[in-house]
Structure 1
Amino acid sequence: MSEYFEVIGVSSPGKELEEVKSDEEIEVIAIDMSRQMTPVKDMKSLWSTYRLLKKEKPQIVHTHTPKAGIVGMLAARMAGIPHRLHTVAGLPLMEATGTKRKILEFVEKLTYASATKVYPNSQGLFDYILEHNYTDKYKLKVIGNGSSNGIDTSYFSPDQVTEAQKTLLKKELNIEDAHFVFVFVGRLVGDKGINELVKAFSYINKKENSQSQSKLLLVGPLEQELDPLHPDTLREIENNPDIISVGFQKDVRPYFAISDVLAFPSYREGFPNVVMQAGAMGLPSIVSDINGCNEIIIEDQNGVIVPVKNSEKLGEAMEKMKSDTDYYQKLKMNARPMIESRYEQSVIWNALLSEYKKLIKERDYRV
């Protein structure tokens, strides 16, 4: 976008924001935004964003994530920004109940009311938003085939990880060539289905003999503040030698490269990057039947779809992947081509660029 527009990136402060500044060669501005419900801090964020927008006078403000959405869209509306765009990449309210659910729904509706366009990043989210009357249909649009950013299939490619790298990493993690490796990539929290995944793996793991052993590779940070795992799950992760937890990794490609299947039983998603990444790396996936996942994965073609929060069905799918070699190889063969043909990053970028140009042209024409 910086080839066509002057781009300013706004986010909470931190090393990631500085990395964006360096990698993308754009101006960045830090405005603190809490991920939790913090009314006083949120008002400060709103005021700071409003002042910034009044100063910069951009034609387009495009927000991502629920908190940046409500802060950015309200501030942009107050500042009179003509194009106020919000991408919906998941709805935390789907798993909320009671008063919390009502508050989150109110915030979501206010965000959409303040926006001029709302971009759900999957058809499932589009349908969910309409079904619950969060906004009018004319405001909604899915860019391309979905996803927020597509995927760079030249970067996420099996060719990017050498045999030497794989051998070294397997040695570090005590994984042998005979092991069948299930991998999960993401935050280790309840909403990602980690409790069910660990339970399913532990069950099939106990049935195995030493010659047909499986490993479960968990790649991601343990976040116990907002959505903690069950104590039994934590104990199993710590005590089961066949569960390997490596924490957050900046480059996840080597971990995909030494794995056989992505297991991703999340409760809710927008359009999960990790499922596209795994597919581009040549891995079939086991995913839950939720928005995004059930669009990227087509049953019995590039993966398996299982019911949400169902460790038994998840375990059955894991067992079939491991035991039915012909079935597994068929899914594996389709995995990368099905991502390349639908979600290549350049296609999504060009679709979004066309949307920006169209909106600005329409605005100029009206003026």
Structure 2
Amino acid sequence: MSNHFEVIGVSSHGKELDEVKNDENIEVIPIDMSRQMTPVKDMKSLWSTYRLLKKEKPQIVHTHTPKAGIVGMLAAKMAGVPHRLHTVAGLPLMEATGTKRKILEFVEKLTYASATKVYPNSQGLFDFILEHNYTDKYKLKVIGNGSSNGIDTSFFSPGQITDTQKELLKKELKIEAGDFVFVFVGRLVGDKGINELVNAFSGLKNTENSKRAKLLLVGPLEEDLDPLHPDTLNEIKNNPDIISVGFQRDVRPYFAVSDALAFPSYREGFPNVVMQAGAMGLPSIVSNINGCNEIIIEDQNGIIVPVKNTEKLKEAMERMLTDTGYYDRSRMNAREMIQSRYEQSVVWEALLGEYHKLVKEREYRV
């Protein structure tokens, strides 16, 4: 986008924002935004964003995440920004109930009302938003085949990790020849399906025609917002076949030493992890939610299981373990099915085309 527009990145303070500045060679401006419901802090964020937009006078403001959406879209509307775009990459309200659900729905509707265009990053989210009347259909559009950013399949490629790197990592993680490794990548919290995943894995039985199963958990344990069940934490700690490595900046080596992704999340927008795993040549077991059930096609590049269903998840894991022919076919299809539909350059070109179209239409009207 920097080749076509002057880009300014806005997010909360932190080393990640500095990394974006250096990696993308763009100007960045820190504005504190809490991930939780904090009315006083949110009003400060809104005022700071409004003042920034009045000063910069951008043609386009494009927001991501629910908090950045409500703050950014309201501020952009108040500041008179002509193109106010919001990408929906998941809806936390899907798992909320009662008063919290009503508050989150109100915030979502206000965000969409303030936006001029809303981009659900999957067809499932598009349908959900329409079904619940959060906004009018004319505002909605899915860019390309879905996804917020696509996947760079030259970066997420099996060839990027050498045999030596794999052998060293396997030795470090105590993965032996003949082990079948299920990998999960993401935050270790309840709504990612970790309780069900650990229970399903613990129920697997090694048979004569199956390999020894191991579960590799790659991601931070978050104990504040959505903590795991104590029994799950105890199993992760004490089961020698469960390997938890915490947050990893580069997840490719962990995909490279694994055999299949297990991703039983309760809700997603369009999960990067499933695309990354596929690009690394892994079939996936995913829950039947929007995004996941668009990337994975049953019996072609993985298995789709019901949400929060430990038994069906266990059955899918057993099938990957024991049915060698099925597993090999799924693995053979995995990378090509990502390359053909979600290559990053294709998504970028589609989004750039949308930006140019919007700017040109406004110039024409003026």
Alpha-carbon distance, 1:212 to partner: 3.1
Structure 1 residue 362 corresponds to structure 2 residue 365: no
Q: Provide the residue aligned with 1:139 in structure 2.
A: 139
Q: Deviations over 1:158-203 (max 9, x none)?
A: 0000000000000000001210000000000000000000000000
Q: Provide the residue aligned with 2:301 in structure 1.
A: 302
Q: Provide the residue aligned with 2:100 in structure 1.
A: 100
Q: What is the alpha-carbon distance in structure 1 between the residues aligned to residue 35 and residue 106 of structure 2?
A: 17
For 1:247-262, what aligned pairs fall within 5 Å after superposition? 247-262=246-261
Say if 1:151 and 1:270 are closer, same or farther in 2 by CA, change over 3 A. Answer: same
Secondary structure at 2:350's aligned position in 1?
helix
Alpha-carbon distance, 1:225 to partner: 0.5
Q: Provide the residue aligned with 1:176 in structure 2.
A: 176
Secondary structure at 1:141's aligned position in 2?
coil
Q: What is the alpha-carbon distance in structure 2 between the residues aligned to residue 22 and residue 364 of structure 1?
A: 33
Say if 1:331 and 1:278 are closer, same or farther in 2 by CA, change over 3 A. Answer: same
Equivalent AA in structure 1 for residue 200 of structure 2: A
Q: Deviations over 1:318-342 (max 9, x none)?
A: 0000100000000000000000000
Structure 1 residue 269 corresponds to structure 2 residue 268: yes
Equivalent AA in structure 1 for residue 163 of structure 2: E
Q: What is the alpha-carbon distance in structure 2 between the residues aligned to residue 33 and residue 209 of structure 1?
A: 54
Structure 1 residue 64 corresponds to structure 2 residue 54: no
Q: Can you give the 5+ residue segments of structure 1 that lack an aligned partner in the other structure? A: none
Secondary structure at 1:126's aligned position in 2?
helix
Q: Can you give the 5+ residue segments of structure 2 that lack an aligned partner in the other structure? A: none
Alpha-carbon distance, 1:84 to partner: 0.1
Q: How many residues align?
A: 366
Equivalent AA in structure 2 for residue 141 of structure 1: K
Q: What is the alpha-carbon distance in structure 2 between the residues aligned to residue 129 and residue 102 of structure 1?
A: 15
Structure 1 residue 343 corresponds to structure 2 residue 342: yes
For 1:33-112, what aligned pairs fall within 5 Å after superposition? 33-112=33-112
For 1:163-312, what aligned pairs fall within 5 Å after superposition? 163-204=163-204, 206-207=205-206, 212-312=211-311
Q: Deviations over 1:299-336 (max 9, x none)?
A: 00000000000010000000000100000000000000
Equivalent AA in structure 1 for residue 28 of structure 2: V
Q: What is the alpha-carbon distance in structure 2 between the residues aligned to residue 333 and residue 273 of structure 1?
A: 20
Say if 1:150 and 1:65 are closer, same or farther in 2 by CA, change over 3 A. Answer: same
Q: Is the 8 A contact 2:211 2:322 kept in 1?
A: no
Say if 1:32 and 1:184 are closer, same or farther in 2 by CA, change over 3 A. Answer: same
After superposition, the CA RMSD in angstroms is 1.0
Q: What is the alpha-carbon distance in structure 2 between the residues aligned to residue 252 and residue 234 of structure 1?
A: 22
Alpha-carbon distance, 1:213 to partner: 1.4
Moved over 2 A (4+): 206-212
Secondary structure at 1:266's aligned position in 2?
coil
Secondary structure at 1:353's aligned position in 2?
helix
Q: What is the alpha-carbon distance in structure 2 between the residues aligned to residue 184 and residue 307 of structure 1?
A: 17
Say if 1:338 and 1:211 are closer, same or farther in 2 by CA, change over 3 A. Answer: closer
Equivalent AA in structure 1 for residue 224 of structure 2: E
Q: TM-score, normalised by structure 1?
A: 0.99
Alpha-carbon distance, 1:209 to partner: 7.5
Q: What is the alpha-carbon distance in structure 1 between the residues aligned to residue 162 and residue 152 of structure 2?
A: 19
